[in-house]
Amino acid sequence: MAAGRGDVSPRLSLATLEHLPRDLAPRVDPRAVPVGIVHLGIGAFHRAHQAVYTEDAIAAGGGDWAICGVSQRSPAVVEQLAPQDGLYTLARRDGAGERLRVIGAVRELRWAQADSDRVLERIAAPATRMLTLTVTEKGYHHDPATNRLRLDSPEVAADLADGGSRTVVGQVVRGLARRRETDGGPITVLCCDNLPDNGHVVRALVCDFVAHSPHADGLAAWIEANVRFPSTMVDRITPSTTDDDRARIAAELGLRDDGAVVTEPFTQWVIEDDFAAGRPAWERAGAIMTGDVGPYERMKLRMLNGAHSTLAYLAQLSGYELVSDAIAPFTAVLESLMERDVAPTLDVPPGFDLAAYQAELLERFANPALRHRTLQIAMDGSQKLPMRLLATIVDRRRAGAEPVAASLGVAAWMRFVSARRSDSGRELPVDDPLEGAIAQRLAGREEAQPVVDQLLSMDQVFDPELAGDDYWRGMLVDLLEALIRDGAEPTARRVAG
Protein backbone atom coordinates (compact mmCIF):
# COMPACT_ATOMS: atom_id res chain seq x y z
CA MET A 1 0.00 0.00 0.00
CA ALA A 2 3.09 2.18 -0.01
CA ALA A 3 2.71 5.44 -1.78
CA GLY A 4 5.02 4.43 -4.55
CA ARG A 5 8.66 4.84 -3.81
CA GLY A 6 9.34 7.66 -6.16
CA ASP A 7 6.47 9.38 -4.34
CA VAL A 8 5.04 11.47 -7.08
CA SER A 9 2.33 13.66 -5.78
CA PRO A 10 -0.39 14.72 -6.08
CA ARG A 11 -2.63 11.70 -5.85
CA LEU A 12 -5.16 10.48 -8.38
CA SER A 13 -8.63 11.85 -7.49
CA LEU A 14 -11.52 13.75 -9.08
CA ALA A 15 -9.59 16.96 -8.44
CA THR A 16 -6.48 15.79 -10.28
CA LEU A 17 -8.30 13.99 -13.08
CA GLU A 18 -8.02 17.01 -15.35
CA HIS A 19 -4.21 16.63 -15.42
CA LEU A 20 -4.53 13.30 -17.19
CA PRO A 21 -4.34 12.99 -20.97
CA ARG A 22 -7.87 12.55 -22.31
CA ASP A 23 -7.27 8.99 -23.58
CA LEU A 24 -6.41 7.82 -20.06
CA ALA A 25 -9.46 9.36 -18.40
CA PRO A 26 -12.61 7.39 -17.41
CA ARG A 27 -15.04 6.82 -20.27
CA VAL A 28 -17.93 8.18 -18.23
CA ASP A 29 -18.03 11.28 -16.07
CA PRO A 30 -17.69 9.74 -12.60
CA ARG A 31 -19.60 12.63 -11.03
CA ALA A 32 -22.62 11.97 -13.22
CA VAL A 33 -23.47 8.34 -12.55
CA PRO A 34 -25.39 7.30 -9.42
CA VAL A 35 -24.82 3.98 -7.64
CA GLY A 36 -26.93 1.04 -8.84
CA ILE A 37 -24.72 -1.90 -7.86
CA VAL A 38 -23.38 -2.93 -4.46
CA HIS A 39 -20.32 -5.13 -4.85
CA LEU A 40 -19.06 -7.31 -1.99
CA GLY A 41 -15.33 -8.03 -2.26
CA ILE A 42 -13.71 -5.13 -4.07
CA GLY A 43 -10.35 -6.80 -4.67
CA ALA A 44 -8.07 -6.54 -7.68
CA PHE A 45 -10.12 -9.00 -9.75
CA HIS A 46 -13.34 -6.99 -9.53
CA ARG A 47 -11.50 -3.80 -10.42
CA ALA A 48 -9.90 -5.46 -13.46
CA HIS A 49 -13.08 -7.17 -14.62
CA GLN A 50 -16.66 -6.27 -13.69
CA ALA A 51 -15.92 -2.62 -12.95
CA VAL A 52 -14.33 -2.20 -16.39
CA TYR A 53 -17.23 -3.92 -18.19
CA THR A 54 -19.62 -1.74 -16.20
CA GLU A 55 -17.88 1.51 -17.09
CA ASP A 56 -17.81 0.53 -20.77
CA ALA A 57 -21.47 -0.53 -20.64
CA ILE A 58 -22.51 2.78 -19.09
CA ALA A 59 -20.45 4.64 -21.70
CA ALA A 60 -22.17 2.68 -24.49
CA GLY A 61 -25.70 2.30 -23.16
CA GLY A 62 -26.15 4.67 -20.19
CA GLY A 63 -27.86 3.74 -16.94
CA ASP A 64 -27.37 4.48 -13.26
CA TRP A 65 -25.07 1.58 -12.58
CA ALA A 66 -22.07 2.95 -10.73
CA ILE A 67 -20.65 0.70 -8.04
CA CYS A 68 -20.53 0.89 -4.26
CA GLY A 69 -17.52 -1.32 -3.50
CA VAL A 70 -17.44 -3.12 -0.17
CA SER A 71 -14.20 -4.39 1.25
CA GLN A 72 -14.99 -7.49 3.26
CA ARG A 73 -12.09 -8.43 5.49
CA SER A 74 -9.61 -5.59 5.62
CA PRO A 75 -9.95 -1.84 5.24
CA ALA A 76 -6.95 -1.75 2.85
CA VAL A 77 -8.83 -1.20 -0.42
CA VAL A 78 -11.04 1.45 1.16
CA GLU A 79 -7.92 3.23 2.38
CA GLN A 80 -6.43 2.99 -1.10
CA LEU A 81 -9.49 4.11 -3.03
CA ALA A 82 -11.56 6.42 -0.82
CA PRO A 83 -8.94 9.24 -0.85
CA GLN A 84 -8.90 8.85 -4.65
CA ASP A 85 -12.71 9.21 -4.97
CA GLY A 86 -12.83 5.58 -6.11
CA LEU A 87 -10.59 6.22 -9.14
CA TYR A 88 -7.81 3.79 -9.99
CA THR A 89 -5.59 2.83 -12.89
CA LEU A 90 -6.03 -0.36 -14.86
CA ALA A 91 -2.72 -1.49 -16.36
CA ARG A 92 -2.95 -4.12 -19.09
CA ARG A 93 0.41 -5.77 -19.58
CA ASP A 94 2.02 -8.28 -21.85
CA GLY A 95 5.38 -8.76 -23.54
CA ALA A 96 4.55 -5.94 -25.95
CA GLY A 97 4.15 -3.33 -23.22
CA GLU A 98 1.69 -1.73 -20.85
CA ARG A 99 -1.51 0.25 -21.53
CA LEU A 100 -3.05 2.37 -18.81
CA ARG A 101 -6.54 3.74 -18.32
CA VAL A 102 -8.28 5.20 -15.30
CA ILE A 103 -11.55 3.61 -14.24
CA GLY A 104 -14.29 5.72 -12.68
CA ALA A 105 -17.12 3.20 -12.20
CA VAL A 106 -16.54 2.79 -8.45
CA ARG A 107 -18.25 5.72 -6.79
CA GLU A 108 -18.48 4.74 -3.14
CA LEU A 109 -16.42 2.61 -0.76
CA ARG A 110 -17.33 0.86 2.46
CA TRP A 111 -15.52 -1.45 4.81
CA ALA A 112 -18.07 -4.10 5.81
CA GLN A 113 -16.80 -4.51 9.34
CA ALA A 114 -16.84 -0.85 10.30
CA ASP A 115 -19.82 0.17 8.25
CA SER A 116 -22.13 -2.81 8.20
CA ASP A 117 -25.28 -0.77 8.68
CA ARG A 118 -24.48 1.56 5.78
CA VAL A 119 -23.81 -1.49 3.62
CA LEU A 120 -27.22 -2.94 4.52
CA GLU A 121 -28.85 0.40 3.77
CA ARG A 122 -27.17 0.46 0.38
CA ILE A 123 -28.33 -3.08 -0.40
CA ALA A 124 -31.87 -2.10 0.65
CA ALA A 125 -31.99 1.22 -1.24
CA PRO A 126 -34.45 1.17 -4.18
CA ALA A 127 -31.75 2.73 -6.42
CA THR A 128 -29.65 -0.42 -5.91
CA ARG A 129 -30.83 -3.09 -8.28
CA MET A 130 -27.92 -5.46 -8.15
CA LEU A 131 -25.73 -7.06 -5.51
CA THR A 132 -22.59 -8.59 -7.01
CA LEU A 133 -19.97 -10.78 -5.33
CA THR A 134 -16.31 -11.72 -5.64
CA VAL A 135 -15.49 -13.08 -2.22
CA THR A 136 -13.35 -16.09 -3.29
CA GLU A 137 -14.30 -19.74 -2.98
CA LYS A 138 -13.80 -19.87 0.78
CA GLY A 139 -15.95 -16.77 1.32
CA TYR A 140 -19.12 -18.82 0.94
CA HIS A 141 -18.51 -21.08 3.96
CA HIS A 142 -19.75 -24.07 2.06
CA ASP A 143 -18.46 -27.56 1.51
CA PRO A 144 -17.09 -27.50 -2.01
CA ALA A 145 -17.70 -31.26 -2.31
CA THR A 146 -21.45 -30.90 -1.72
CA ASN A 147 -22.12 -27.18 -2.25
CA ARG A 148 -24.02 -27.07 1.05
CA LEU A 149 -23.70 -24.31 3.65
CA ARG A 150 -21.42 -25.34 6.53
CA LEU A 151 -23.90 -25.04 9.34
CA ASP A 152 -21.17 -26.22 11.71
CA SER A 153 -18.90 -23.29 10.88
CA PRO A 154 -18.74 -21.05 13.99
CA GLU A 155 -19.26 -17.89 11.92
CA VAL A 156 -22.29 -19.29 10.09
CA ALA A 157 -23.72 -20.53 13.39
CA ALA A 158 -23.15 -17.12 15.00
CA ASP A 159 -24.83 -15.32 12.08
CA LEU A 160 -27.78 -17.70 12.28
CA ALA A 161 -28.09 -17.17 16.02
CA ASP A 162 -28.07 -13.36 16.07
CA GLY A 163 -28.99 -12.42 12.48
CA GLY A 164 -25.48 -10.96 12.06
CA SER A 165 -23.40 -10.52 8.95
CA ARG A 166 -19.97 -11.98 9.70
CA THR A 167 -20.28 -14.26 6.67
CA VAL A 168 -21.10 -13.26 3.12
CA VAL A 169 -24.23 -15.39 3.04
CA GLY A 170 -25.36 -13.86 6.35
CA GLN A 171 -24.65 -10.42 4.95
CA VAL A 172 -26.63 -11.10 1.75
CA VAL A 173 -29.57 -12.50 3.71
CA ARG A 174 -29.57 -9.55 6.10
CA GLY A 175 -29.41 -7.12 3.19
CA LEU A 176 -32.30 -8.86 1.45
CA ALA A 177 -34.32 -8.89 4.70
CA ARG A 178 -33.75 -5.14 5.11
CA ARG A 179 -34.75 -4.60 1.50
CA ARG A 180 -37.95 -6.51 2.01
CA GLU A 181 -38.79 -4.54 5.20
CA THR A 182 -38.20 -1.21 3.50
CA ASP A 183 -39.88 -2.23 0.25
CA GLY A 184 -36.78 -1.72 -1.86
CA GLY A 185 -38.14 -3.90 -4.67
CA PRO A 186 -36.65 -6.71 -6.76
CA ILE A 187 -32.90 -7.19 -6.97
CA THR A 188 -30.39 -9.48 -8.69
CA VAL A 189 -27.63 -11.27 -6.77
CA LEU A 190 -24.79 -11.92 -9.22
CA CYS A 191 -21.98 -14.22 -8.15
CA CYS A 192 -18.69 -13.60 -9.98
CA ASP A 193 -16.58 -16.23 -8.22
CA ASN A 194 -15.01 -19.34 -9.74
CA LEU A 195 -17.67 -21.80 -8.61
CA PRO A 196 -19.51 -24.09 -11.01
CA ASP A 197 -23.16 -23.12 -11.40
CA ASN A 198 -22.32 -20.16 -9.22
CA GLY A 199 -25.75 -18.48 -9.32
CA HIS A 200 -27.56 -21.64 -8.36
CA VAL A 201 -25.03 -22.46 -5.67
CA VAL A 202 -25.36 -19.02 -4.06
CA ARG A 203 -29.14 -19.21 -4.29
CA ALA A 204 -29.07 -22.60 -2.53
CA LEU A 205 -26.73 -21.25 0.19
CA VAL A 206 -28.97 -18.23 0.77
CA CYS A 207 -32.04 -20.49 0.94
CA ASP A 208 -30.24 -22.87 3.33
CA PHE A 209 -29.36 -19.96 5.58
CA VAL A 210 -32.92 -18.58 5.51
CA ALA A 211 -34.37 -22.02 6.24
CA HIS A 212 -32.21 -22.33 9.37
CA SER A 213 -32.61 -18.75 10.54
CA PRO A 214 -35.02 -17.92 13.35
CA HIS A 215 -35.05 -14.29 12.13
CA ALA A 216 -36.28 -14.80 8.58
CA ASP A 217 -40.02 -15.21 8.73
CA GLY A 218 -41.55 -14.96 5.26
CA LEU A 219 -38.20 -14.09 3.70
CA ALA A 220 -37.97 -17.28 1.63
CA ALA A 221 -41.17 -16.45 -0.24
CA TRP A 222 -40.07 -12.83 -0.79
CA ILE A 223 -36.73 -14.02 -2.21
CA GLU A 224 -38.50 -16.47 -4.47
CA ALA A 225 -40.67 -13.68 -5.88
CA ASN A 226 -38.14 -10.82 -5.99
CA VAL A 227 -34.57 -12.05 -6.36
CA ARG A 228 -32.76 -13.59 -9.31
CA PHE A 229 -29.41 -15.39 -9.08
CA PRO A 230 -27.97 -15.67 -12.59
CA SER A 231 -24.80 -17.69 -13.11
CA THR A 232 -21.67 -16.20 -14.68
CA MET A 233 -18.30 -17.30 -15.96
CA VAL A 234 -15.60 -14.74 -15.25
CA ASP A 235 -12.08 -14.70 -16.62
CA ARG A 236 -9.14 -12.34 -16.40
CA ILE A 237 -5.82 -13.24 -14.82
CA THR A 238 -5.14 -10.54 -12.24
CA PRO A 239 -2.20 -10.95 -9.87
CA SER A 240 -2.02 -8.94 -6.64
CA THR A 241 -0.55 -5.51 -7.27
CA THR A 242 2.98 -5.03 -5.94
CA ASP A 243 4.79 -1.90 -4.70
CA ASP A 244 6.91 -2.05 -7.87
CA ASP A 245 3.74 -1.93 -9.98
CA ARG A 246 2.44 1.06 -8.03
CA ALA A 247 5.74 2.92 -8.37
CA ARG A 248 5.97 2.24 -12.13
CA ILE A 249 2.36 3.25 -12.77
CA ALA A 250 2.69 6.41 -10.69
CA ALA A 251 5.74 7.42 -12.69
CA GLU A 252 3.89 6.82 -15.96
CA LEU A 253 0.74 8.56 -14.81
CA GLY A 254 2.41 11.45 -13.09
CA LEU A 255 0.05 10.87 -10.17
CA ARG A 256 0.29 8.65 -7.11
CA ASP A 257 -2.22 5.81 -7.30
CA ASP A 258 -2.48 3.37 -4.39
CA GLY A 259 -5.39 1.50 -5.96
CA ALA A 260 -3.86 0.54 -9.31
CA VAL A 261 -4.45 -2.98 -10.67
CA VAL A 262 -2.34 -4.92 -13.14
CA THR A 263 -3.96 -7.40 -15.47
CA GLU A 264 -3.64 -9.17 -18.82
CA PRO A 265 -5.15 -7.95 -22.13
CA PHE A 266 -7.51 -10.98 -22.27
CA THR A 267 -10.90 -10.64 -20.61
CA GLN A 268 -14.08 -12.70 -20.79
CA TRP A 269 -17.47 -12.63 -19.10
CA VAL A 270 -20.36 -14.95 -19.88
CA ILE A 271 -23.59 -14.11 -18.08
CA GLU A 272 -26.92 -15.89 -17.76
CA ASP A 273 -29.42 -13.28 -18.87
CA ASP A 274 -31.91 -13.52 -16.01
CA PHE A 275 -32.13 -10.26 -14.07
CA ALA A 276 -34.77 -9.06 -11.60
CA ALA A 277 -34.49 -5.31 -12.13
CA GLY A 278 -32.50 -4.46 -15.24
CA ARG A 279 -28.76 -4.53 -15.86
CA PRO A 280 -26.02 -2.49 -17.53
CA ALA A 281 -25.64 -3.08 -21.28
CA TRP A 282 -22.67 -5.38 -20.56
CA GLU A 283 -23.00 -7.02 -23.97
CA ARG A 284 -22.00 -3.66 -25.46
CA ALA A 285 -18.78 -3.94 -23.47
CA GLY A 286 -18.03 -7.41 -24.85
CA ALA A 287 -19.79 -9.71 -22.36
CA ILE A 288 -21.64 -12.72 -23.75
CA MET A 289 -25.24 -12.91 -22.56
CA THR A 290 -26.66 -16.42 -22.79
CA GLY A 291 -29.39 -18.70 -21.55
CA ASP A 292 -26.94 -21.31 -20.26
CA VAL A 293 -23.56 -20.47 -18.78
CA GLY A 294 -22.88 -24.08 -17.71
CA PRO A 295 -20.76 -25.21 -20.69
CA TYR A 296 -18.60 -22.05 -20.52
CA GLU A 297 -18.18 -22.31 -16.77
CA ARG A 298 -17.15 -25.94 -16.87
CA MET A 299 -14.73 -25.26 -19.67
CA LYS A 300 -13.08 -22.36 -17.89
CA LEU A 301 -12.91 -23.97 -14.45
CA ARG A 302 -11.56 -27.29 -15.71
CA MET A 303 -9.24 -26.00 -18.44
CA LEU A 304 -7.88 -22.72 -17.08
CA ASN A 305 -8.25 -23.10 -13.34
CA GLY A 306 -7.54 -26.85 -13.37
CA ALA A 307 -4.31 -26.19 -15.27
CA HIS A 308 -3.50 -23.21 -13.04
CA SER A 309 -3.78 -25.22 -9.82
CA THR A 310 -1.86 -28.19 -11.24
CA LEU A 311 0.88 -25.85 -12.38
CA ALA A 312 0.91 -23.95 -9.08
CA TYR A 313 1.61 -27.06 -6.94
CA LEU A 314 4.14 -28.56 -9.36
CA ALA A 315 5.86 -25.17 -9.60
CA GLN A 316 5.93 -24.66 -5.85
CA LEU A 317 7.46 -28.10 -5.36
CA SER A 318 10.10 -27.46 -7.98
CA GLY A 319 10.89 -23.90 -6.89
CA TYR A 320 9.31 -21.72 -9.60
CA GLU A 321 7.90 -18.53 -8.12
CA LEU A 322 6.24 -17.20 -11.26
CA VAL A 323 3.72 -18.83 -13.59
CA SER A 324 5.57 -17.51 -16.62
CA ASP A 325 8.80 -19.25 -15.50
CA ALA A 326 7.05 -22.53 -14.67
CA ILE A 327 5.17 -22.83 -17.92
CA ALA A 328 8.04 -24.17 -20.07
CA PRO A 329 8.90 -27.21 -17.94
CA PHE A 330 5.25 -28.10 -17.38
CA THR A 331 3.60 -27.31 -20.72
CA ALA A 332 3.50 -30.97 -21.77
CA VAL A 333 1.74 -32.12 -18.62
CA LEU A 334 -0.78 -29.27 -18.86
CA GLU A 335 -1.48 -30.19 -22.47
CA SER A 336 -2.04 -33.75 -21.39
CA LEU A 337 -4.39 -32.57 -18.63
CA MET A 338 -6.42 -30.43 -21.02
CA GLU A 339 -6.49 -32.80 -23.99
CA ARG A 340 -6.73 -36.23 -22.42
CA ASP A 341 -8.53 -35.54 -19.14
CA VAL A 342 -10.59 -32.35 -19.43
CA ALA A 343 -11.65 -32.14 -23.09
CA PRO A 344 -13.66 -35.40 -23.12
CA THR A 345 -15.73 -34.12 -20.15
CA LEU A 346 -16.78 -30.88 -21.84
CA ASP A 347 -19.89 -29.98 -23.70
CA VAL A 348 -18.22 -27.42 -25.95
CA PRO A 349 -20.49 -24.52 -27.01
CA PRO A 350 -21.36 -24.69 -30.73
CA GLY A 351 -18.75 -23.07 -32.95
CA PHE A 352 -16.21 -22.93 -30.13
CA ASP A 353 -12.63 -23.89 -31.02
CA LEU A 354 -11.32 -25.80 -28.00
CA ALA A 355 -7.85 -26.35 -29.43
CA ALA A 356 -7.44 -22.61 -29.99
CA TYR A 357 -8.74 -21.95 -26.47
CA GLN A 358 -6.13 -24.33 -25.04
CA ALA A 359 -3.31 -22.74 -27.05
CA GLU A 360 -4.43 -19.30 -25.94
CA LEU A 361 -4.46 -20.38 -22.28
CA LEU A 362 -0.87 -21.53 -22.49
CA GLU A 363 0.10 -18.24 -24.11
CA ARG A 364 -1.69 -16.32 -21.39
CA PHE A 365 0.15 -18.29 -18.69
CA ALA A 366 3.43 -17.50 -20.45
CA ASN A 367 2.79 -13.71 -20.35
CA PRO A 368 6.15 -12.54 -18.97
CA ALA A 369 4.90 -9.13 -17.87
CA LEU A 370 2.23 -10.32 -15.42
CA ARG A 371 4.57 -11.77 -12.80
CA HIS A 372 1.75 -13.94 -11.45
CA ARG A 373 2.95 -15.78 -8.37
CA THR A 374 2.36 -19.52 -8.22
CA LEU A 375 1.91 -19.20 -4.45
CA GLN A 376 -1.12 -16.93 -4.98
CA ILE A 377 -2.80 -19.69 -7.00
CA ALA A 378 -1.69 -22.42 -4.57
CA MET A 379 -3.68 -20.74 -1.78
CA ASP A 380 -6.95 -22.33 -0.59
CA GLY A 381 -6.40 -25.60 -2.44
CA SER A 382 -9.03 -27.46 -0.41
CA GLN A 383 -11.65 -25.04 -1.72
CA LYS A 384 -10.44 -25.01 -5.31
CA LEU A 385 -9.59 -28.63 -6.08
CA PRO A 386 -13.16 -29.99 -6.15
CA MET A 387 -14.34 -27.89 -9.10
CA ARG A 388 -10.99 -27.52 -10.83
CA LEU A 389 -9.70 -31.10 -10.81
CA LEU A 390 -11.91 -33.52 -8.88
CA ALA A 391 -14.97 -32.90 -11.07
CA THR A 392 -12.92 -33.83 -14.13
CA ILE A 393 -11.57 -36.92 -12.37
CA VAL A 394 -15.06 -38.09 -11.33
CA ASP A 395 -16.31 -37.78 -14.92
CA ARG A 396 -13.30 -39.60 -16.36
CA ARG A 397 -13.45 -42.39 -13.79
CA ARG A 398 -17.15 -42.90 -14.54
CA ALA A 399 -16.15 -43.29 -18.17
CA GLY A 400 -13.60 -45.93 -17.14
CA ALA A 401 -10.60 -43.71 -17.98
CA GLU A 402 -7.39 -43.02 -16.06
CA PRO A 403 -7.04 -39.26 -15.69
CA VAL A 404 -3.34 -39.30 -14.84
CA ALA A 405 -2.43 -35.63 -15.34
CA ALA A 406 -5.42 -34.37 -13.33
CA SER A 407 -4.56 -36.88 -10.62
CA LEU A 408 -0.98 -35.60 -10.64
CA GLY A 409 -2.40 -32.14 -9.84
CA VAL A 410 -4.15 -33.63 -6.79
CA ALA A 411 -1.05 -35.60 -5.76
CA ALA A 412 1.05 -32.43 -6.07
CA TRP A 413 -1.38 -30.63 -3.76
CA MET A 414 -1.10 -33.55 -1.31
CA ARG A 415 2.69 -33.29 -1.43
CA PHE A 416 2.48 -29.50 -0.98
CA VAL A 417 0.29 -29.70 2.15
CA SER A 418 2.06 -32.72 3.67
CA ALA A 419 5.76 -31.92 3.07
CA ARG A 420 5.39 -28.12 3.26
CA ARG A 421 8.73 -27.85 1.55
CA SER A 422 9.96 -27.91 -2.00
CA ASP A 423 11.97 -30.67 -3.66
CA SER A 424 15.11 -28.76 -2.76
CA GLY A 425 14.04 -28.41 0.88
CA ARG A 426 12.79 -24.80 0.88
CA GLU A 427 9.89 -24.19 3.25
CA LEU A 428 6.49 -23.66 1.58
CA PRO A 429 3.76 -21.70 3.34
CA VAL A 430 0.35 -23.41 3.26
CA ASP A 431 -2.54 -20.95 3.35
CA ASP A 432 -5.88 -22.74 3.44
CA PRO A 433 -9.06 -22.44 5.52
CA LEU A 434 -8.81 -26.19 6.25
CA GLU A 435 -5.13 -25.97 7.12
CA GLY A 436 -5.79 -26.88 10.78
CA ALA A 437 -7.93 -29.89 9.86
CA ILE A 438 -5.37 -31.03 7.29
CA ALA A 439 -2.46 -30.77 9.73
CA GLN A 440 -4.45 -32.61 12.38
CA ARG A 441 -5.20 -35.52 10.04
CA LEU A 442 -1.70 -35.75 8.68
CA ALA A 443 -0.03 -35.42 12.09
CA GLY A 444 3.34 -34.93 10.41
CA ARG A 445 3.03 -37.98 8.12
CA GLU A 446 4.62 -37.65 4.71
CA GLU A 447 4.62 -41.19 3.24
CA ALA A 448 2.32 -41.65 0.26
CA GLN A 449 -0.19 -44.22 1.53
CA PRO A 450 -1.14 -42.60 4.86
CA VAL A 451 -1.20 -39.10 3.33
CA VAL A 452 -3.57 -40.23 0.58
CA ASP A 453 -5.74 -42.17 3.04
CA GLN A 454 -5.97 -39.29 5.49
CA LEU A 455 -6.69 -36.62 2.94
CA LEU A 456 -9.23 -38.68 0.99
CA SER A 457 -11.18 -39.12 4.21
CA MET A 458 -11.91 -35.36 4.29
CA ASP A 459 -15.43 -35.40 2.95
CA GLN A 460 -15.61 -31.61 2.76
CA VAL A 461 -13.19 -31.94 -0.16
CA PHE A 462 -13.49 -35.44 -1.65
CA ASP A 463 -16.90 -36.81 -2.39
CA PRO A 464 -17.50 -40.35 -1.18
CA GLU A 465 -17.80 -41.78 -4.70
CA LEU A 466 -14.29 -40.66 -5.56
CA ALA A 467 -12.81 -41.49 -2.16
CA GLY A 468 -14.30 -44.97 -2.51
CA ASP A 469 -12.67 -45.58 -5.90
CA ASP A 470 -9.84 -47.93 -4.91
CA TYR A 471 -8.28 -47.94 -8.33
CA TRP A 472 -7.97 -44.16 -8.27
CA ARG A 473 -6.64 -44.27 -4.71
CA GLY A 474 -3.90 -46.58 -5.98
CA MET A 475 -3.09 -44.16 -8.82
CA LEU A 476 -2.75 -41.31 -6.35
CA VAL A 477 -0.47 -43.30 -4.08
CA ASP A 478 1.77 -44.16 -7.05
CA LEU A 479 1.89 -40.54 -8.19
CA LEU A 480 2.62 -39.24 -4.71
CA GLU A 481 5.36 -41.84 -4.28
CA ALA A 482 6.90 -40.68 -7.54
CA LEU A 483 6.74 -37.04 -6.44
CA ILE A 484 8.45 -37.94 -3.17
CA ARG A 485 11.08 -40.16 -4.80
CA ASP A 486 11.86 -38.34 -8.05
CA GLY A 487 10.57 -34.79 -7.56
CA ALA A 488 7.96 -32.77 -9.45
CA GLU A 489 9.69 -32.08 -12.76
CA PRO A 490 10.72 -35.67 -13.61
CA THR A 491 7.32 -36.99 -12.50
CA ALA A 492 5.46 -34.47 -14.65
CA ARG A 493 7.66 -35.34 -17.62
CA ARG A 494 6.87 -39.00 -17.22
CA VAL A 495 3.12 -38.40 -16.83
CA ALA A 496 3.11 -36.23 -19.95
CA GLY A 497 4.86 -39.16 -21.64
Q: Which of 79, 107, 67, 85 is nearest to 12 (CA)?
A: 85
Nearer to ligand CS2, 302 or 397 (CB): 302
Q: Which residue is nearest to ligand CS2 (CB)?
A: 308
The rounded distance, in Å, linking the Cα atoms of 407 and 454 is: 16
For 355, residues 6+ apart whose C-beta sits below 8 A from its C-beta are none
Instruction: Quote the Cα angle for 399-401-403, to 5°.
Output: 120
CA 242 from chain centre, in angstroms, equals 19
CB of 45 to ligand CS2, least distance (A): 7
Q: Do residues 223 and 183 touch, judged by C-beta distance below 8 A? A: no
Q: Which range in 75-83, 147-155, 301-309, 346-354 contacts ligand CS2 by CB under 6 A?
A: 301-309
Q: Does 377 bind ligand CS2 (CB under 6 A)?
A: yes
Near ligand CS2 by CB under 6 A: residue from 11, 39, 141, 236 = 236
CB of 42 to ligand CS2, least distance (A): 16
CB of 337 to ligand CS2, least distance (A): 14
For 353, residues 6+ apart whose C-beta sits below 8 A from its C-beta are none
Q: Which range in 69-77, 200-208, 303-311, 405-413 contacts ligand CS2 by CB under 6 A?
A: 303-311
Omega before residue 464 within 30° of 0, cis? no
Nearer to ligand CS2, 80 or 263 (CB): 263
Q: Which range in 25-33, 61-69, 142-150, 234-242 contacts ligand CS2 by CB under 6 A?
A: 234-242
Footprint on residues 237-266 left by ligand CS2 (CB under 6 A): 237
DSSP state at residue 314: H
Nearer to ligand CS2, 113 or 376 (CB): 376
Q: Which of 304, 305, 316, 301 is nearest to 413 (CA)?
A: 316
CB of 307 to ligand CS2, least distance (A): 9
The SS3 call for residue 214 is coil
Using CA atoms, how far residue 100 sits from 48, 57, 365, in Å, is 12, 19, 21
Near ligand CS2 by CB under 6 A: residue from 113, 240, 331, 376 = 376
CB of 315 to ligand CS2, least distance (A): 12
CA 399 from chain centre, in angstroms, equals 30
Amino acid residing at 250: A
Total interface residues for ligand CS2 by CB under 6 A: 10
CB of 352 to ligand CS2, least distance (A): 17
CB of 308 to ligand CS2, least distance (A): 4
Near ligand CS2 by CB under 6 A: residue from 235, 245, 257, 469 = 235
Instruction: Quote the Cα angle for 487-490-495, to 5°.
Output: 115
Q: Which of 307, 305, 467 is nearest to 384 (CA)?
A: 305
Kind and range of the H or E element at 1? Answer: none
Q: Does 20 bind ligand CS2 (CB under 6 A)?
A: no
CB of 61 to ligand CS2, least distance (A): 25
Footprint on residues 43-72 left by ligand CS2 (CB under 6 A): none
The rounded distance, in Å, linking the Cα atoms of 325 and 177 is: 49
Q: Does 194 bind ligand CS2 (CB under 6 A)?
A: yes
Q: Does 305 bind ligand CS2 (CB under 6 A)?
A: yes
CB of 196 to ligand CS2, least distance (A): 13
Tally the residues of the chain.
Answer: 497
**Residues at the interface with ligand CS2 (CB under 6 A):** 194, 235-237, 304-305, 308, 376-377, 384
